[in-house]
Amino acid sequence: MKKKRRTRFTKGEKLLYTCAVLSFVFAMVLQVFGGAGISGLSMNVEVVKADIEKQEKKNESLTMKMSELTSYENIKGIVSDMGLAYNNENIIVINN
């Protein structure tokens, strides 16, 4: 009969295997929390982009409204309603 030989791990091997397993678990946990943080930031970026687009549309609308209100026909109509005469020489144009 042959004697069964048990392979025992030394204290150094046990420590090494334990550190390897803990490092693997730590890396997985870090990856999960890191991914969650990145996805949260991505969502915030998308919200800010949507807000910027909404504000740009609002600015464009206000610019169009301003152009409409300062048009020649609109000014002439307002001047006529007030009973004044339209004099082109008295108009000062201010450019932004």
> What is the pLDDT at residue 59?
96
9 falls within a domain: no
- Tally of domains within the chain: 1
Structural domain span for residue 77: 62-86
37 falls within a domain: no
- Which amino acid, residue 63? T
16 falls within a domain: no
Count of CA atoms in the C-beta half-sphere (13 A) of 85: 3
67 falls within a domain: yes
Q: What is the mean pLDDT of each run of 10 residues along the chain (96 residues)?
A: 74 94 96 92 96 97 90 83 78 72
74 falls within a domain: yes
Q: CA 29, CA 50: separation in Å to the nearest integer?
A: 32
Buried-exposed string 62-74: b where 16+ CB fall within 10 A, e elsewhere: eeeeeeeeeeeee
The CA-atom distances, in angstroms, between 53 and each of 40, 44, 45, 48, 64 are 20, 14, 12, 9, 17
Give the length of the chain.
Answer: 96
Q: What is the pTM of this model?
A: 0.54
